[in-house]
Every structure is written in structure tokens, then in C-alpha cells.
Structure 1
Amino acid sequence: MTHIYSVEHNMKHNSNFVVDVPEGYHWLIVITKTPSEFWVQGETKEYPAHSAIIYRPPQKVYYRASRDQFINDWIRFETDVPYITESPLPFGVPFSVNDPNYCRKLFELLSIEHNYNRDYKEISIDFLLKTLFNKLLESYFHGDISPQYYNLLKIRTMIQNNPGDYWTVSKMAEQLSISAGYLQSIYKKTFGVSCMDDVIANRIRLAKEYLIHSNQSIAEIASQCGYQNVEHFCRQFKHITGNTPKEFQKSQYVETF
């Protein structure tokens, strides 16, 4: 069972902010959005933005602002659930978060659930905490995260959310202020797929949804998915899926009925 005492997201503090608790009474998770200083193994060290730290009772808790402003998400709670108490994650040692926006949304949802008495409050909080710990596990075992990683993640999220936009390697590289060649190299190294193949995959993913769930023409779907030429869309769709858009649409109709 888990009992939350307090949870906050996107909390902003000034440059003299400090938390100093010689022996913590509860579990505490902190994720920073700004560079911060933590007491780790007997000394204070600065860690970059998007660092997470988990304190278990009765660990010493000490962290503070290291720049003009300190912004963080945090949750303080009691628990006896094994996925937390027996977690392989380190306690009292910061590590980088590989998807800070996802974690921010989880903290926002945890805050909402905590502050409202709803019928399934405890169940919802448990699922959200499990998801948060899953994301922290992914982050911890992700390996080293370069400073450029978060900028690449922003670009990838924009592609996934708006695949129909006009995407080019030059446009993406310009947003990151790097060369097109360097972008292609680090994007594939980071995500295992080239940036334009990622664009195409997300356009085809979106096209499938339109083909199944809308009554738009194939030309209209092609346009919404970022294709100026419907024939090019059809060729690319068949190359990726093995079917033309009409064949795919027909197969889905047959499966449904």
C-alpha cells in the first residue's frame, strides 16, 4: 500500500532554495528541470537538468539550487510495495531521465489524483506510480545521455505529433543549430532509425488511422499526411506495408466484418 503525503509538479524556487533533512522520514522522488546540487557520498555535486533522485527513509536528503532558479517535480510518500522497496534503482544518487516530458505529465496526473477524492483514486495512483518507476528504470538502464539528446527528443516528439508537417533534414538541423550530416549521424545513433525514415514511418502510421477510421479520399489522406503527390504516397505506403492504401483499407474492412 502507498500513501502520498504531498506531490507537486513544476515547482519554481529562487537561487537560495535548499532542502536539508539529516534523516528523512518518508520516501521522496525528485526530478529536476534545472541544474541542481545534491549531497552524494559525503560531498555536494552539481548535476544537470532532468536528473532524478530517489530517497528512502531514513536517508539524508540534501539538494539545492545551483543557478538563478530551481525548478522540480517531487513526491513524498510511504509505501511497502515491492516494485518500489525492492527496486534495482539507486537510492540517494541522481541519474538522468531519458523522457522528462513524459515524467512531468505523470507528476501532473499524480498531483490531480492526490488532490481530488475520486472513486478509483488509490488504484489510479498505484498505476501512475508504477508507470513512473518503469520510466525511471528505462532511464537508469538507458546509459549515458548526452546534452544533445534532449534536443533530439524534442524533434522526434514533434515528428510523432505532427508527421504531416513539411519535414526535411535541413529544417531539423537548423532547429538544433547543427549541420544536416551531423544530425543524421546522431539521430540514427540515438534512436536506431534515420530522421527521414522516422518521418515516413509516422506518416504511414497516421495514414493507416485515416484509412481505417475516416471517410476521406486517398488524395485527402495523402495531403494530411504530408504528401504533395498522391502517387508518391501510394508507392511509399506499399513499400512500407506491402499493400496499396486501397488494399489495406479493404483488408481492414473484411477483418471488421
Structure 2
Amino acid sequence: MTNIFYVEYDAAHNSSFVFDIPEGHNCWLLVITQTPAQFWVDGKLREYPPHCAVLFEPHQKIYYRACAEQYVNDWIRFETDEPYVTETSLPFGSPFPLDDPEYCHRLFQLLVIENSFNKDYKKSSIDCLLRTLFNKLLESYFREEITPQHYNLLKLRSAIHNNPTHPWTVSEMAEILSISPGYLQVIYKKSFGLTCMDDVIHSRIRLAKEYLIHSPYTVAEIADRCGYRNVEHFCRQFKQLTGSSPKKFNKRNTGSGAGTPGPTKLNP
């Protein structure tokens, strides 16, 4: 059973902010920083960069403070007897970097929304969100390395996924990060398992699948809407990733070849 006492995101404080609870809370406290901060760890006050998470167990000393003009964090204070928290492998009171802070931030936003509802089903929703959050924390904690460029790479990848139709080039993406094109390709593939241009192609094909299933556009129109200026090139890349042509994909997934209405303008 899990009970949230308080949860907040984008909590902002000035440079004089200090949080000092010598005896700790009688419950769990999870803090995720958006700005640099100082934490009391192993008998010393240490400075940590933004995008760190720190979990305090019940009755553990808590001390952290701002170390810039503003301190911003997400935090949740809760009690639980769930093993994914009580038996976690995460360290207590010691900040560690997050590999995807924006994902965790969105989970906090959802937790705030769910916690505001007075409904019977909210407990199961909150538990699912907390489990997902703690899984993400474990992924971050056991990640081998988070490079200085990691968060910039995440922003770039988000931009690609949100706007796959943009005429992306390796040179442009490298310029955004102020690094060389060759270095970008090396660290991008190391971080995400595929090259930045492969990511662009995958994003465009995902969008094309949605159009093929849910829109009446022709293949040529879909190719243009997905950032392709050459329909043959689009069809070739689509088949390489899906194993079928756009037209066959449409028939297989909409049933338009078996009596079920679907997009009809599919020439060529």
C-alpha cells in the first residue's frame, strides 16, 4: 500500500533556500533536481549538478540547499510497504544523475494530477506511476556513464521525434550541439543504439505508418508530409524498415483489401 502525503513539480526557491531535517521524515522522500544543489553526503556538504535524484529513507538525516540564484526541484513525500521501494537497490541520501530527466518530470506531473483526484481507482494509477518512476531511477543508477553531452543529445532526439519532417542533416544537428559531425555520430549511436540520421528515418516511417492507417492521403502525399521529396526514396526506405511496400502495409493493417473500409487514395 502506498500513500502520498505531498507531491510537487517545478518547486522554485531563491538562493537562500535550505532544507534541514536532522532526524528525517517518518516517511520516504524522493527529490529530483532541475538546478545545481548541495547535499549533505557522508558527513560532507557536496555540490551536485542538475538532473540528479536522491532518495531518503524514513528517519534519515536530510540536508540540502541552493547553490545558485535559484533552486528548482520535483519532490514527493510518501509512505509505502511496496518492495520496489523498501527493498530497492538505490542508494539512500546520495544523489545520482538521471539519464532521462524529462521523462521523470512528466511522471511527476502525472502524479500531481492523479493525487488531486478523490477516486477509488487513483491508488492503482499512482502505484503504476511510482513503479514506472522507480524503474526509471534504477535504469539511471545502473547506467555505465552519463556524458556531459547526454542531456543535449536528449533534447536533440526529442526535437527529431517531435518534428521528423524537418530536413535534418548531420551538419545541422552537430551545429546545434556545437560539436563536430563525426563526434556527434559516435556519441549519438553510443547513447541510443542508432545513428542520428537512422533516428530521423525511423521517426519518419513511424509517422508514415500512422498516415497509412488513419488518413486518406496518397502514398505521394504521405511521402511529402513525412519529409520526403522523392516518393521512390520513401517507398524504398519504408520497405527496408517494415518489410512491405506502403500500399501492402495499408491493406494489411486497415483490412481495405478484405472488405473493411480504409484509406483508398493509394496510387502509387
Q: TM-score range by the shorter chain?
A: over 0.9
Instruction: Identify unmatched segments of 5+ residues in structure 1.
Output: none
Question: Which residue type is aligned with residue 169 of structure 2?
Answer: T
Deviation for aligned residue 1:252: 2.0
How far apart in 2 are the matches of 1:96 and 1:85?
21
Q: Secondary structure at the match of 1:215?
A: coil
Question: Which residue type is aligned with residue 189 of structure 2?
Answer: K
Aligned sequence identity (%): 63
Which residue of 2 is the match for residue 6 of structure 1?
6
Spell out, residue by residue over 1:113-135, the C-alpha distance to the aligned partner (whole angstroms, 9 max, x if none). Answer: 22231342211111111111111
Deviation for aligned residue 1:164: 1.5
Question: Which residue type is aligned with residue 10 of structure 2?
Answer: N
Question: Which residue type is aligned with residue 168 of structure 1?
Answer: T
Spell out, residue by residue over 1:133-154, the C-alpha distance to the aligned partner (whole angstroms, 9 max, x if none). Answer: 1111111111221121000011
Deviation for aligned residue 1:94: 0.7
Question: Which residue type is aligned with residue 242 of structure 2?
Answer: T
Question: Which residue type is aligned with residue 5 of structure 1?
Answer: F
Structure 2 residue 34 is the aligned partner of structure 1 residue 65: no
Deviation for aligned residue 1:204: 1.0
How far apart in 1 are the matches of 2:7 and 2:49?
22
Q: Secondary structure at the match of 1:3?
A: strand
Q: How does 1:140-219 map to 2 (within 5 A)?
A: 140-219=141-220
Which residue of 2 is the match for residue 127 of structure 1?
128
Spell out, residue by residue over 1:169-192, the C-alpha distance to the aligned partner (whole angstroms, 9 max, x if none). Answer: 111111111121211111112111
How far apart in 2 are the matches of 1:244 and 1:211?
11
Which residue of 2 is the match for residue 112 of structure 1?
113
Q: How does 1:238-253 map to 2 (within 5 A)?
A: 238-253=239-254
Q: Secondary structure at the match of 2:190?
A: helix
Q: Secondary structure at the match of 1:178?
A: coil
Question: Which residue type is aligned with residue 70 of structure 1?
Answer: Y
Q: Secondary structure at the match of 2:132?
A: helix
Spell out, residue by residue over 1:23-57, the C-alpha distance to the aligned partner (whole angstroms, 9 max, x if none). Answer: 11210000000111111111111111000000001
Question: Which residue type is aligned with residue 156 of structure 1?
Answer: R
**Mean alpha-carbon deviation: is it higher for 96-105 or for 233-242?**
233-242
How far apart in 2 are the matches of 1:248 and 1:156?
27
How far apart in 1 are the matches of 2:89 and 2:216?
49
How far apart in 2 are the matches of 1:114 and 1:250?
43
**Mean alpha-carbon deviation: is it higher for 172-181 or for 58-67?**
172-181
How far apart in 1 are the matches of 2:121 and 2:71?
33
Deviation for aligned residue 1:168: 0.9
Deviation for aligned residue 1:4: 1.0
How far apart in 2 are the matches of 1:30 and 1:222?
45
Which residue of 1 is the match for residue 48 of structure 2?
47
Which residue of 2 is the match for residue 18 of structure 1?
18
Deviation for aligned residue 1:66: 1.1
**Mean alpha-carbon deviation: is it higher for 232-241 or for 56-65?**
232-241
Q: Secondary structure at the match of 1:144?
A: coil
How far apart in 1 are the matches of 2:44 and 2:59?
18
How far apart in 2 are the matches of 1:12 and 1:58?
25
CA RMSD of aligned residues (A): 1.4
Q: Secondary structure at the match of 2:160?
A: helix
How far apart in 1 are the matches of 2:140 and 2:146?
9
Q: Secondary structure at the match of 1:196?
A: helix
Question: Which residue type is aligned with residue 20 of structure 1?
Answer: D
Deviation for aligned residue 1:108: 1.1
Instruction: Identify unmatched segments of 5+ residues in structure 2.
Output: 261-268
